Amino acid sequence: MRLKEMVLAGILMLGFSSEALAQDTIKPVMKSKKASVSKISKAADDLKESLNSNDELGIAKNYENLAQGFIDKEDYAKGEEYLKKALAGYLKLKRTEDRIRVTRALAKVQEAQNKVGAAIKNYEAAGAASMDKSYEQVNQNDANRLRSINNPAAQAVYNKSNIQLLEKEDKKAEVADAYVQQAEVSLQQKNKEVAIESYKKAISYSKDQPEAVVKLKNEIAKVYASDNQFDKAIAINEKLLTEAQAKNDFDIQIKQLQELATIYFKKNEPEKAITVLKQAYQLAMQQGKTAEVKTSLLQLLQYYKSNGKDKESIALYDDFFQHFDKLIQNDSSLIDEKTFQVTEEKIRQLEKEKALKDELISKKNTFNYFLMGSMVLLLLFFGLIVKALYSIKTKNKEIALQSLRREMNPHFIFNSLNSVNQFISQNKELEANKYLTSYSHLMRNMMENSNKDFISLSSEIEQLKKYLDLEHLRFQDKFDYEITVDENLDTETTFVPNMLIQPHLENAIWHGLRYRETKGLLQLCFGIKNNKISVLIDDDGIGLTKSAELKTQNQKVHQSRGLTNTKERISLLNELYKANIAFSITEKNSGTTGTLVEITFPILDKP
């Protein structure tokens, strides 16, 4: 006898779980095992396809479906594992609604495993991520309910709040869960009538889930049994048994027989308990339900051993060993389990391959980003070099422009000092003093504007007038001058090149007008021509040809340098400011003498 018990124990440990189920801890079925296995199998196959095609959204959804299959099977550890994978996928894809749903489902699974801390965190995470204030409150209530696990009264308040919120949202499955939680809290408070009513409410919200309804009715039967209302409990289980027999649902039939056995044992009617247990055992053996055979077998053996019925124990052993091979062969759940193990191994392999691919893609993307970043930095560096070179080139042009502009000053200063010297030698102290005063004013203006490429037209006219006044003091018997400005020109807001006109006025006076025997006229006109500013310098001096004949070699070199300076300045201004400045020099003929200089440049409102 002892040998047989050891052999049987070894077989049971190899074939099934080693945990012996007590008579009052038989867990009711929440979902059909066949439906759960079928759901798991389909989800696993779909997951393989998604992994093969690298369909990120499909992978996340199939992880979620696979998790739900395990949850229906009450394998919460596996359910949690795959929910976490689904959550990671939805996070990666930034699918907020899916993430919130799975986070709440994960919290429920963790609560079912008594992982209170983790469940609280996930309830809070689901609530925080939700844009729906009602749904946020539901999750916060669940988190607070778990925090109040040792305070049933507080838990009841949070449950009631959730029921009200969820009923408004018409979330039937969630409402049913909340009523189940309310029933469990009521049982903690020893309020069995409220617990039964809560279970009945849950049933009313679970009519489209037959397996859930069966479980809830079993829970009601347990409450009646715990309150010694055995007849009510038996009536519920017998009705469920009859309904299952009508539907040929063998899983529920076996469970109801086991539940009835538990009640009969509590009612102290062991003969009836043994009768229904034997029925459960035989039905489980016929249908190849290994786990249920084990449950019924252990309860029968425990009863026979406790009551010294060795003969019945031996008969049960013999029956079990005779049908053991057939039982294993007929148990589709074992085949399904083995099949899923193979499938799960394939899934693991595909996950590793995907992780490797993702890593390679990540490294490739990192390299590409690095390469692109390097190219951008290189282009930026190249651009900075080009900009620096352009800036240096521009600065050099500006320096060259200032240098050319300042070349005009020494000659002007030399002529001015000669004029002062002439006045002094002729004892014309008043004229010399007046000349020096005007000269100082002019030089102050020129120094103030020496670093500017453009000045306002009004400043330029004022500067040119002071210059002409100086020259007129020296050559007052040689020429008069006129300055005219087109009334359409706003001299305050219009800008012109600095010191570009003065050299031409100087040439007109020194190389044309001063050689006249009679007093001449110098006209300076500012006008608008073809949407450009036109500056005309018109003198009736001796003209270019005769002036060239009278010049010394040194004067010729100076005038040539003066014209070259002007051309270079115009060229630099055009390059720096795209000013499109042009000038021309024309000698008058047809009975008149003199020179006509025209300078044109665009109308500028900013320097």
The answer as to whether 547 is a domain residue is: yes
- Give the Cα-Cα-Cα angle 479, 485, 487 (nearest 5 degrees): 150
Contact status, residue 599 vs residue 535, Cβ threshold 8 Å = yes
Q: Taking all residues of the chain, what is their mean pLDDT, rounded to a whole number?
A: 83
Q: What is the pLDDT of residues 219-240, one digit of tens each?
A: 999 999 999 999 999 999 999 9
The answer as to whether 577 is a domain residue is: yes
Q: Which residues is 520 bridged to in the sheet?
A: 479
The answer as to whether 534 is a domain residue is: yes
- CATH number for the domain including 455? 3.30.565.10
- Of 114-128, 244-258, 342-356, 563-577, the least confident: 342-356
What's the CA gap between 426 and 420, in Å, rounded?
10
554 has a pLDDT exceeding 70: no
The answer as to whether 139 is a domain residue is: no
The answer as to whether 563 is a domain residue is: yes
- Of 12-16, 390-394, 466-470, 493-497, the least confident: 12-16
Residue 140's pLDDT is what?
A: 96
557 has a pLDDT exceeding 60: no
482 has a pLDDT exceeding 70: yes
371 has a pLDDT exceeding 60: yes
The answer as to whether 544 is a domain residue is: yes
User: Band of the pLDDT at 27, cuts 50, 70, 90?
Assistant: very low
What's the CA gap between 298 and 138, in Å, rounded?
43
User: Band of the pLDDT at 31, cuts 50, 70, 90?
Assistant: very low
Which of 339-343, 434-438, 534-538 shows the highest mean pLDDT? Answer: 534-538
> Where in the sequence is the domain holding 493, given as residue range(s)?
394-602
Describe the crossing of helices 172-188 and 152-169 by its angle, rounded to 10 degrees: 160
Burial of residue 346 (CB within 10 Å: 0-12, 13-18, 19+) is middle
Residue 14's pLDDT is what?
A: 37
What's the CA gap between 277 and 113, in Å, rounded?
29
23 has a pLDDT exceeding 50: no
The answer as to whether 459 is a domain residue is: yes
- Give the Cα-Cα-Cα angle 61, 66, 72 (nearest 5 degrees): 125
Q: How far is CA 414 from CA 232, 408, 420, 421, 445, in A?
A: 131, 10, 10, 11, 18
288 has a pLDDT exceeding 80: yes
333 has a pLDDT exceeding 80: no
The percent of residues in the chain predicted with pLDDT above 70, rounded, is 84
The answer as to whether 572 is a domain residue is: yes
Q: Which residues contact 219 (CB under 8 A, 6 or more apart)?
A: 28, 180, 183, 199
Contact status, residue 202 vs residue 176, Cβ threshold 8 Å = yes
Phi, psi values for residue 495, rounded to 5°: -110, 145
Reported in sequence order, the residue ranges of 478-554 that DSSP labels E, i.e. its strands, are 479-485, 495-497, 520-529, 532-539
501 has a pLDDT exceeding 80: yes
User: Band of the pLDDT at 535, cuts 50, 70, 90?
Assistant: very high
**In terms of pLDDT, which residue wins out, 26 or 482?**
482
Phi, psi values for residue 183, rounded to 5°: -65, -45
- Of 25-34, 436-445, 543-552, the least confident: 25-34
Q: How many domains does the chain have?
A: 1
Residue 37's pLDDT is what?
A: 62
Mean pLDDT of 432-453: 78
DSSP 19: P
Residue 25's pLDDT is what?
A: 33
